[in-house]
Chain A
Amino acid sequence: DVKVTQSSRYLVKRTGEKVFLECVQDMDHENMFWYRQDPGLGLRLIYFSYDVKMKEKGDIPEGYSVSREKKERFSLILESASTNQTSMYLCASSVTRGVYEKLFFGSGTQLSVL
């Protein structure tokens, strides 16, 4: 079974802190994605990557950056956390470039910014 692992289930940070959310997949998938999920807004794509060191902006990239130094690892960075970044963050991966249908999701990180 594909496993997508997010490093933290719950995280509490202070406004202005730099926050790293880590995601690792173990099935050699090319595509990796970061979403945030908010009540009433659904899943929104922040960034995705289809190869090592490649990244593409999603629908809401402002305030975020990403890093993909190794194929299996995709990190989401909040340079200076703000309260409006309190959310559930979901990482996902899919097999090959251009295949976005079957996504494998991690269990999510609930981030609270105080």
Chain B
Amino acid sequence: EDKVVQSPLSLVVHEGDTVTLNCSYEVTNFRSLLWYKQEKKAPTFLFMLTSSGIEKKSGRLSSILDKKELFSILNITATQTGDSAVYLCAVLYNAGNNRKLIWGLGTSLAVNP
């Protein structure tokens, strides 16, 4: 069964801490892995990863993919209260003639001042 599993489900940290969020997957015909940030309601795109070992970086956020071990991590350094959100991982894969996107349940991050 195709699946995406995120851990931890929730996390509470203090401002300034560094956090690592995990996403593991089991799919056939993998194409890409995506990270989204969901504040309030609308998820917003963070990263797309297709190749192992190549870090994607945007400010204090970075992410890397390991296609051999089938997981990705999202790192946030020097966390701020504005980083409080649900972080969603999704995997795009080929399913027959179609492409399918399967989502994890998310990691809820709370950053306390």
Contacts and interface: CB of A to CB of B under 8 A. Distances in A.
| Interface-centre pick from B32, B45, B48 (highest chain A CB count, 10 A) | B45
Interface stretch (B19-27, B58-66, B98-106): B98-106
B42 A98 contact: no
Q: Which of A4, A42, A98, A101 has the most CB of B within 10 A?
A: A101
Contacts of A40: 105
Chain B interface, >50% SS class: strand
B42 A102 contact: no
Interface residues of B, number: 19
Interface string B67-104: 00000000000000000000010101000000101011
A88 interface: yes
Interface of A: 4, 9, 40-45, 88, 90, 98, 100-108
